[in-house]
Amino acid sequence: MTGGVVVTGYGVFTAFGWGEKALRDGVFTGIQVFAPARRFDPTPFRTPMTAAAAGDPELDAVLGGCADDAVDMAGLSPDTAAAVLLGSAGDWKSVTRFSRGQEYTPGPDVPGVLASMLADRIGFRGPRLAFTNACVASATALIHGWRLITAGRQEVALCAGAYLVEEENMAKFDSGRAFAKDGVIRPFSKDRTGLLLGDGVAAIVLESEEHAARRGATVLARMTGFGVASDAYHIAKPHPEGRGITSAVRQALRRARVSDVDYVNAHGTGTPLNDGAETNGLRTALGSDTPISSTKSTTGHMLEASGAVEFVVSLLALLDGVLPPTAGYTTPDPACDLDYVTEGPRRAPVNRVLSLNAAFGGMNTAILLERP
């Protein structure tokens, strides 16, 4: 392959609902839709607040719907020879039922099964892989898709991520004291106290530039670089200077042969340790002038799905020339002294954006998107 990797389709689901209009009306206006969890009893936890869509959707059904939207937008046929790459921890419903001594209902509990079900649903013929490396799982799926395409092993890859708020992980994050004490997420604000979970599912079609050109596909953006790094500092804490973020960002810029970007969609969990470390890492890599925001301030933390959903958010920022705000921000923090787009949505020339994610174990990813 001599060309690059392009984006030709996507589908997305969050607490705001289906599709890009829901994202534009919610994430890009800075609306926070956190409310007490309704799918399970949240009273044992420090906060009941989550960003969850109405009802009790099934993970495989929502994932399939997003994949259908992405494939339809891209204009691909069901028998395409394409990889299906999924970042997910699987569906926890059966696990939760089993732990309570309730009747076990077989389902897509194992991530590999969920990836295979997705491939069968859309009819793609190609490798099927599941990534389970926590909150960089779907970012890793996107990066692996880029690698497969640039190596000439595949011409098309459907890359996806999926997480719906459920009791199992609510309990785990509560035990780790990671949640915002007052049930309000405030990324980069001095009074931030923690994160909140949220629904997120997204699917993205990546193609080789040549393949997209041969079939006359509409190219939405180019994925021109990525970075992957581990700061090897602590199982749950980032390096205070954000060394992993710095390394991942520098790798992405070097691959794309550029020196700066117009916007960064930050990991931005709203936890005291993450936001300061990420600020340090970004300042070292990019200086102090690049606009940065955390859209987890509106969607919540979508765990394994974060990379895929925030890739779509970054793509819309690129297409619309609008930077999504960091919602909930109240008080400047001397340790977080960059431009976090706190005033609301901001119109700006956007030609190049970075999407960042991080995870337990010191993992960091950066994905670079550019206008076609």
**5: three-class secondary structure by DSSP:** strand
Q: Which residue has the tokens 């700066």?
A: 260
Please provide the average confidence, as pLDDT, over all residues in the chain: 95
Would you call 211 a catalytic residue per the annotation? no
Active-site pick, 135, 159, 239, 336 = 135
**137: three-class secondary structure by DSSP:** helix
206, pLDDT greater than 60: yes
Q: How many other β-carbons are positioned within 10 Å of the β-carbon of residue 319?
A: 14
Beta-carbon contacts of residue 210 (< 8 Å; ≥ 6 apart): 1, 2, 3, 155
Query: Which pLDDT does position 91 carry in this prediction?
Result: 83
**Residues of 28-51 as b/e, b for ≥16 C-beta within 10 angstroms?**
bbbebbbeebebbebeebbbbbbb
Active-site pick, 144, 211, 239, 267 = 267
Least confident stretch, 92-96, 217-221, 278-282: 92-96
Nearest Cα neighbor of 311 from 220, 202, 167 is: 202
Per residue in 212-244, pLDDT (tens digit) is 999 999 999 999 999 999 988 888 889 999 999
Cβ(358)–Cβ(246) below 8 Å? no
Active-site pick, 144, 211, 239, 301 = 301
How many residues in the chain?
Answer: 372
**Is residue 158 exposed (0-12), middle (13-18) or buried (19+ Cβ within 10 Å)?**
buried
Q: Which residue has the tokens 């993205």?
A: 204
Would you call 239 a catalytic residue per the annotation? no
Would you call 301 a catalytic residue per the annotation? yes
